[in-house]
Amino acid sequence: MKTLMKSYDENDVAEGFALAYEQVADIAAMLDAIQNKHERTIEYLSKVYNVPESVFKELTRLFQITNSMIEDSLEFSKSQENHYHAEVDNSS
């Protein structure tokens, strides 16, 4: 019978997911800044040039979709980090 050997270190994998989480969190912060600028621009164009908000509906929808994807990625990275940290704790 063959014995399977682990080819990874749980702590390294957990750190990889922690890094992925931090990188996605940074992207989320940048997207939030862009979205705030977008909202201020909509307000300005609406007030000064009477441009209706509906003109920006598609971009607003894309922000919502991207935010949802970011949340999913953050949740996944955090759950995987916790899973591999638990494996480290259980093997100690």
Write the single-letter amino acid at 19.
L
C-alpha span between 57 and 20 (Å, rounded): 31
The model's pTM: 0.85
Which pLDDT score is estimated for 79?
98
What residue type is 62 in one-letter code? L
Per-residue pLDDT of the chain (92 residues; tens, 9 = 90+): 666 667 889 999 999 999 999 999 999 999 999 999 999 999 999 999 999 999 999 999 999 999 999 999 999 999 999 999 999 899 87
Residues 56, 42: Cα–Cα separation, whole Å:
8
Produce one character per residue of 75-85: b if its CB has 16 or more CB atoms within 10 Å, e if not: eebbebbeebb
pLDDT of residue 6: 72
